[in-house]
Amino acid sequence: MSVPLAYLGIILIWSTTPLAIKWSGQDVGFLFGISTRMGVGLVASLIVLALWRKRLPLTREAVHAYFAIGLPLFAAMSCVYWGAQFIPSGLIAVVFGLTPLATGVMAMYWLGENNFTPPRLLGMFFGLLGLAVIFGNSFALGPSAHWGILAVLGAMFFHSLSTVWMKKVGTQIAPVVANTGGLAIATILYASTWLVTGATWPNEIPLHSAASIVYLGVVGSVLGAGLFYYALRHLDTGKISMLTLVTPVTALMLGRLVNHETLDNGTILGTGLVLSGLFVYQWAGTLLAVARGKKVGAAE
């Protein structure tokens, strides 16, 4: 598969995921939405494995990879589904846009990748400043919006953890196999949560909730995750994290056009700071290097 094509597919799927998450939990409860999504995703993934005549290996390396995906997936999805109740769908993607910063810190300590140049530190400052502005302005979005932002921030942390953990494992298992194992771990955890909390099946499931659950289970959890782990095997963590530079903008536009979501000036300012910080974090060093190279060439 073409890596650029997989990269584009991830952007499209991640742009639509926040809105689908918000819809999938409406009128049925966030726990039902995420639990059924995991179940649908696992069934779809097992069907793909059967069609491709692949099996789930149970070697030590394989099981390690399954847990590196499944445990953070359970924690991240629990946080983001709960938090989605209180904030606009586009803001989910904006907070997730800080993934490069968290991934960079984790990669430095866990993978020995020290990429914190002065431009990247400046980008991190702007990103964190933007997050502070969004959080400080959260009460304008609703009385519980600050809890939603914190929950999605926690989800972003767990997603970054999974990315770096998978890089650390360095597994050569096919992405669809690794993702199926991770979904199996997450589904078991959600089934256990369902039983422990005594959750019940909703009396009625609206069409938009059911469609969102199926979309997230098949496209988000299987196709999207498969593309993500495929790209993860061929690209470094910095390029993977760049995915979050585009999806906040597209997700905000989609939420406004489709779900009629509105953002106040404070949230727009914070979003602008986050995106500016991400741009500086990812591109300022490269642009400076190019500018210095041209300057040296002109002097010669």
Average of per-residue pLDDT across 125-141: 83
Q: Amino acid letter at 163?
A: T
Q: What is the pLDDT of residue 111?
A: 80
Q: What is the pLDDT of residue 233?
A: 75
Q: What is the pLDDT of residue 300?
A: 52
Average of per-residue pLDDT across 79-99: 88
Q: Write down the mean pLDDT value for the chain.
A: 84
Question: Which among 246, 252, 233, 242 is positioned nearest to 283, based on CA atoms?
Answer: 242
Band (pLDDT 50/70/90 cuts) for residue 296 is very low
Give the Cα-Cα-Cα angle 273, 275, 278 (nearest 5 degrees). 110
Q: How far is CA 241 from CA 2, 55, 102, 281, 295, in A?
A: 18, 30, 10, 11, 30
Q: How far, in Å, CA of 290 to CA of 131, rounded?
A: 30
Q: What is the pLDDT of residue 144?
A: 86
Q: What is the pLDDT of residue 123?
A: 82
Q: What is the pLDDT of residue 118?
A: 80
Q: Is the model more confident about 27 or about 269?
A: 269
Q: What is the pLDDT of residue 186?
A: 94
**Dihedral angle, C-alpha 37, 63, 153, 216, nearest 10 °:** -20
Q: What is the pLDDT of residue 215?
A: 93
Q: What would you report as the CA-atom Rg of the chain, rounded to the nearest whole angstrom?
A: 20
Query: Which structural domain, as residue segments, surrounds residue 178?
Result: 3-299
Average of per-residue pLDDT across 28-42: 90
Q: What is the pLDDT of residues 201-244, one digit of tens each?
A: 888 888 989 999 999 999 988 888 778 778 877 776 566 666 76
Average of per-residue pLDDT across 102-112: 83
Q: What is the pLDDT of residues 156-169, one digit of tens each?
A: 999 899 988 888 88
Q: Is the model more confident about 173 or about 32?
A: 32
- Spell out the residues 6+ positions from residue 92 whose beta carbon is closer than 8 angstroms to its own: 18, 21, 22, 80, 83, 84, 152, 251
Average of per-residue pLDDT across 19-39: 89
Sign of CA dihedral 274, 161, 17, 146: negative
Lowest mean pLDDT segment, chosen from 80-84, 136-140, 143-147:
136-140
Q: Structurally, how many domains does the chain consist of?
A: 1
Token couple for 189: 């955890």
Q: What is the percent of the chain where pLDDT is above 70?
A: 90
Q: How far, in Å, CA of 76 to CA of 92, rounded?
A: 12
Q: What is the pLDDT of residues 272-290, one digit of tens each?
A: 888 888 888 776 666 666 6
Q: How far, in Å, CA of 238 to CA of 286, rounded?
A: 13
Q: What is the pLDDT of residue 253?
A: 84
Lowest mean pLDDT segment, chosen from 28-42, 112-126, 263-277:
112-126
Placement of tokens 């089934």 in the chain: 191
Average of per-residue pLDDT across 251-262: 84
